[in-house]
């Protein structure tokens, strides 16, 4: 903290309040090892919730209740625009500038359906203070420059710059982001559900913005929304970590709150009007003709439930949803998975409890509209059976067991752990509930267990759902003409706008485009922003302590970590030699490995057993190249599970049985699993299009890159679709089961090792307990999985169902041990910060773009995300190389790039996650010494190094390119694609 801060004299008492705040309540949460306190700012009424922990990764979040009354995306666009300059920091892009000047472990902003939040996390106190200053000023004193609104929200431009006779087009980062987001069928399903489930409250609208409605938002409306919503009286501050609450409050007061008085208005989501009888709605979604084959209709039944702020009601809904849908043995999920009325359960299945009133939904995809009566009957009949006959006590106990596991597990591998806790509580805080109760669940879970022990409890919950008249049955069928009609409507709208413009208005559009271009190219004085420097970077990487021993012939490694009463076990099986057909089925094999029957138990019994014993058991393959040669690789099958320590023995037996007694005679189950996997992979395309494009572009770089594309990339999705159709024939399904069984037989002969992670005082007794269970569980066969070398240039255009484009370009480079690998990693960040972000996101209108070095496959990749362009973006990739070679490297830019890479390397994870990462790194030859050397080389990168590696690896040779888009774009770019030797790949 800065010396001038009034917080300097504050003690470390977690519940002590700064004088301008008053303490409302305080509570210890033994299950999480934290305490939480609620405070209120006396003058404005702002809320502050502080979760005190000895965790050095401190987290800050400020949220505003944002309740839009249309689908113009005002809250979403405001979230973007608020981060584009403020009173104290009047520069164009302080948010992205701070990402480069920080050691943060998380920085972002979110727009939810009824709140907007600005969170960050950092383990460095100076960095935390820097970010706090910028975030507080951005939220409460934002400039909201009109050109930032034009850039981030929407604007009109002539397609030919400066030519008023050319066609008009809409541009804007959020405009293109939402075009991409709404390409997802799941997003369309959800927003259509909400439109009818919530006829009168804010959830009726798309808070992110509908692309057709976003251009309706005016700058004046944006400013008005800001003034009414971005005020401390409407704010919720949430913090986590080892900085005392009063110290935070002193900074809040100094940086913003002292300048505000209370608002008279009270922003909240009202009660939704209730239907007196169920309704049924028919809608359509766009699907290209090439994909519109067979049954593609989604049928979803959904209910509006009680308030999420009522803890008992919330837990009852979670219990009922778990009992019905938790796993394949759960009655409703079983009915949906085994039904012939559709191909697989809907992605909408489950409980949504983050809004003021909860939503429960279930249904099928891959159906047809004529089956709606049957699908509805299937769901309601299943609920009636539960209401009449109840659920076995052990199945109810299993769901309660899962709730306990979720409560106890310390996360942090995706979002920071503190942020996970904050987001858990934020919904309740938004609706003025009791968020402390959501974190301290043990008392409520105890009460729930007592209620659930009553024989009629689940019956009553199911009957209440059946009796709930606020029910919607949504039928969404594909229409191959919708997209063309949407595009035609946009063209007609733009043509009408253009026809209405006078010369002065046309010139104003041209002038705005010129002004925005100048603003985007402006070199601003960023010295007004606070920053950390390389002097603030820790000198070294910490070492994790582990122990090695053996259970008989099975070697194991154990880590003592703060797991809060959980034990994690992973079995690493060296991948055996597989032929090409077997390798192609590896993703299917890992999917079915934990989903089939064991011995004399069918898969339903096994699913129930898993829920009773552990918090999940999964299988995946892990492959990495040799640190000195990307053409050589090492690969493992990983069987992973977590459980409460009291269940460690049962967990171990389950893992052994999964490998030793797996049965492949449940062919119908295998067919269902393939169908479900296909549905998940297809629905992930628009959310991970840039990743899929990079995987396709890199497929010719190394054996692992080729496997990545074949298994998890676009080729893998296509192969999965074909396989799903093939196994409709019984003989093909039987053949697949035999092939999977043959793969499994090879796995059983392969050598293996075990990883155990638990708390320090549990490790020794735990290993004593597990020793007889793992004794002699090893094979003697030495596995030698290998693949031939791969060096091939790829140029592919993938046709999918997407309104926006994803572009990637890749160059072969070097693996991690090569001295140039750290330099290339820094180069990627430097090019993104200095050139790519500006030309692809700000000027090009894509939601994101940049570059990265993947030393595992020895490839340097350029990418763009939700991009309105293709050719222009591919050209910008090339221009970034020219810029790098012909522009002197700026010392500050280099330091910022190094900071970004080091911050990524040093990013903390969960206690168990860090142990897993350390162990896997060691297994794959990435020793701590090697990782430390890589980090030291990053810190030592010079200006000359950057230009040298750019010249060596990026300026020569033919790059590989992949584009993911749609059929219309392929037709539009036909000449370009032909001239540049692209192949057209149909997904």
pLDDT tens-digit profile of 461-500? 999 999 999 999 999 999 989 988 998 999 999 999 999 9
| Mean pLDDT across the chain | 94
Nearest to 70 by CA among 219, 209, 196: 209
Q: What is the DSSP string of 743-766?
A: HHHHHHTB-EEEEEEE-HHHHHHH
pLDDT tens-digit profile of 498-556? 999 999 999 999 999 999 999 988 888 889 999 999 999 988 889 999 999 999 989 99
960 — pLDDT class (breaks 50, 70, 90): very high
pLDDT tens-digit profile of 41-95? 999 999 999 999 999 999 999 999 999 999 999 999 999 999 999 999 999 889 9
CA angle 694, 697, 703 (to 5 degrees): 100
797-804: average pLDDT: 92
* The pLDDT value given to residue 9: 33
* The pLDDT value given to residue 4: 35
Beta-bridge partners for 593: none
Q: How far apart are CA 274 and CA 468, in angstroms?
A: 10
932-941: average pLDDT: 97
781-801: average pLDDT: 91
All domains of the chain in start order, with CATH: 6-187+195-267+522-528 (3.30.830.10), 279-413+433-479 (3.30.830.10), 547-774 (3.30.830.10), 795-986 (3.30.830.10)
819 — pLDDT class (breaks 50, 70, 90): very high
Helix, strand, or coil (residue 40): strand
Residue written as token pair 């705040």: 21
Q: How far apart are CA 263 and CA 247, in angstroms?
A: 25
784-806: average pLDDT: 93
Residue 610 scores a pLDDT above 90: yes
| pTM of the predicted model as reported, rounded to 2 decimal places | 0.92
639 — pLDDT class (breaks 50, 70, 90): very high
Nearest to 924 by CA among 630, 525, 598: 630
Residue 680 scores a pLDDT above 70: yes
Q: How large is the angle between the packed helices 372-389 and 311-325, nearest 10 degrees?
A: 110
pLDDT tens-digit profile of 254-284? 999 999 999 988 899 999 999 999 999 999 9
pLDDT tens-digit profile of 700-726? 999 999 999 999 999 999 999 999 999
* The pLDDT value given to residue 14: 53
* The pLDDT value given to residue 92: 86
* The pLDDT value given to residue 13: 44
| Tally of residues, the chain | 987
pLDDT tens-digit profile of 412-456? 888 899 999 999 999 999 999 999 988 888 899 999 999 999 989
Residue 12 scores a pLDDT above 70: no
* The pLDDT value given to residue 653: 97
* The pLDDT value given to residue 5: 33
Q: What is the DSSP string of 362-405?
A: EEEEEE-GGGHHHHHHHHHHHHHHHHHH---HHHHHHHHHHHHH
Q: Percent of the chain at pLDDT above 90?
A: 88
């Amino acid at each position: 903290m800065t010396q001038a801060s009034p917080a300097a004299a504050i003690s470390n008492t977690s519940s002590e309040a700064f004088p301008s705040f008053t303490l409302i309540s305080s509570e210890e949460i033994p299950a999480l090892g934290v305490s939480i306190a609620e405070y209120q700012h006396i003058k404005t009424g702002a809320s502050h919730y502080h979760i005190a922990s000895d965790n050095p990764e401190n987290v800050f979040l400020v949220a505003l209740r944002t309740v839009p009354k249309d689908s113009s995306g005002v809250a979403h666009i405001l979230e973007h625009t608020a981060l584009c300059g403020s009173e104290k920091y009047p520069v164009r892009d302080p948010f992205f500038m701070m990402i480069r000047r920080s050691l943060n472990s998380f920085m972002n902003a979110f727009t939810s359906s009824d709140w907007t939040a600005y969170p960050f996390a950092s383990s460095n106190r100076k960095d935390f203070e820097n970010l706090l200053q910028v975030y507080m000023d951005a939220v409460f004193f934002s400039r909201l420059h009109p050109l930032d609104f034009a850039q981030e929200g929407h604007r009109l431009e002539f397609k030919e710059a400066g030519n008023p006779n050319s066609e008009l087009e809409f541009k804007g980062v959020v405009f293109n982001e939402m075009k991409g987001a709404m390409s997802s069928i799941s997003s369309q399903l959800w927003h259509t559900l909400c439109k009818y489930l919530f006829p009168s409250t804010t959830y009726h609208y798309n808070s992110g913005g509908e692309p057709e409605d976003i251009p309706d938002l005016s700058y004046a409306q944006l400013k008005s929304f800001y003034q009414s919503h971005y005020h401390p009286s409407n704010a919720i501050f949430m913090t986590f970590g080892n900085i005392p609450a009063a110290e935070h409050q002193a900074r809040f007061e100094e940086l913003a709150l002292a300048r505000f008085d209370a608002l008279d208005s009270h922003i909240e989501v009202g009660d939704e009007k209730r239907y007196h009888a169920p309704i049924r709605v028919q809608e359509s979604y766009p699907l290209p003709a090439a994909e519109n084959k067979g049954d593609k209709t989604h049928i979803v039944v959904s209910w509006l439930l009680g308030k999420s702020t009522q803890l008992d009601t919330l837990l009852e809904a979670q219990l009922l949803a778990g009992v019905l849908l938790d796993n394949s043995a759960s009655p409703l999920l079983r009915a949906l998975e085994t039904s012939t009325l559709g191909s697989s359960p809907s992605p909408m299945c489950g409980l949504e409890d983050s809004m003021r009133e909860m939503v429960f939904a279930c249904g099928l995809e891959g159906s047809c509209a004529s089956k709606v009566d049957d699908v509805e009957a299937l769901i309601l009949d299943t609920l009636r059976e539960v209401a009449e006959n109840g659920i076995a006590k052990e199945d109810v106990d299993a769901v309660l067991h899962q709730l306990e596991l979720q409560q106890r597990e310390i996360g942090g591998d995706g979002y920071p752990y503190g942020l996970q806790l904050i987001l858990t509580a934020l919904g309740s805080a938004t609706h003025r509930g009791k968020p402390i109760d959501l974190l301290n669940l043990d008392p409520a879970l105890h009460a729930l267990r007592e209620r659930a022990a009553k024989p009629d409890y689940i019956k009553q919950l199911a009957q209440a759902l059946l009796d709930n008249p606020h029910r919607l049955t949504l039928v969404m069928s594909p229409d191959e003409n919708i997209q063309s009609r949407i595009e035609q409507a946009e063209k007609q709208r733009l043509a009408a706008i253009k026809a209405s413009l006078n010369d002065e208005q046309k010139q104003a559009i041209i002038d705005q485009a010129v002004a925005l271009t100048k603003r985007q190219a402006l070199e601003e004085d960023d010295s007004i922003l606070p920053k950390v420097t390389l002097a603030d970077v820790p000198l070294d990487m910490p070492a994790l302590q582990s122990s090695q021993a053996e259970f008989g012939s099975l070697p194991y490694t154990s880590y003592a970590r703060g797991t809060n009463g959980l034990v994690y076990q992973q079995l690493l099986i060296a991948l055996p030699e597989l032929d090409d057909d077997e390798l192609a089925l590896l993703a299917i094999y890992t999917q079915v490995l934990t989903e089939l029957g064991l011995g004399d138990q069918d898969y339903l019994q096994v699913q129930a057993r898993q829920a009773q014993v552990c918090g999940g058991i999964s299988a995946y393959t892990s492959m990495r190249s040799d640190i000195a040669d990307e053409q050589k690789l090492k690969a493992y099958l990983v069987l992973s599970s977590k459980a409460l320590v009291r269940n460690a023995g049962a967990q171990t037996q389950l893992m052994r049985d999964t490998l030793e007694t797996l049965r492949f005679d449940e062919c119908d189950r295998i067919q269902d699993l393939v169908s479900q996997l296909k549905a998940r992979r297809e629905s992930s395309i628009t959310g991970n299009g840039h990743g899929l494009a990079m995987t396709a572009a890199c497929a010719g770089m190394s054996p692992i890159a080729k496997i990545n594309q074949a298994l998890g990339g676009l080729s893998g999705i296509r192969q999965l679709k074909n396989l799903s159709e093939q196994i409709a024939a019984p003989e093909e399904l039987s053949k697949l089961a035999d092939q999977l069984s043959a793969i499994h037989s090879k796995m059983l002969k392969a050598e293996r090792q075990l990883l155990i992670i638990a708390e320090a005082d549990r490790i020794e007794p735990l290993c004593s307990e597990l020793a007889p269970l793992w004794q002699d569980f090893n094979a003697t066969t030495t596995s030698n999985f290998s693949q031939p070398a791969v060096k091939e240039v790829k140029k592919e255009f993938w046709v999918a169902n997407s309104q926006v484009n994803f572009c990637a370009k890749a160059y072969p480079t070097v693996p991690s041990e090569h001295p140039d690998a750290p330099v290339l990693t820094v180069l990627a960040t430097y090019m993104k910060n200095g050139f790519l972000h500006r030309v692809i996101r700000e000027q090009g209108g894509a939601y994101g773009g940049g570059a990265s070095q993947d030393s595992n496959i020895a490839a340097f990749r350029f990418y763009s995300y939700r991009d309105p362009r293709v050719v222009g973006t591919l050209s910008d990739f090339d221009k970034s190389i020219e810029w790098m070679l012909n522009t002197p490297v700026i010392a500050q830019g280099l330091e910022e790039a190094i900071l970004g890479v080091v911050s990524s390397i040093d990013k903390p994870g969960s206690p168990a996650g860090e142990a897993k990462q350390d162990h896997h790194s060691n297994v794959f030859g990435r020793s701590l010494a090697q990782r430390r050397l890589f980090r030291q080389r990053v810190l030592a990168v010079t200006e000359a190094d950057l230009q040298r590696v750019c010249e060596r690896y990026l300026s020569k040779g033919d790059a590989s390119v992949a584009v993911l888009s749609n059929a219309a774009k392929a037709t539009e770019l036909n000449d370009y694609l032909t001239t540049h030797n692209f192949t057209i790949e149909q997904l």
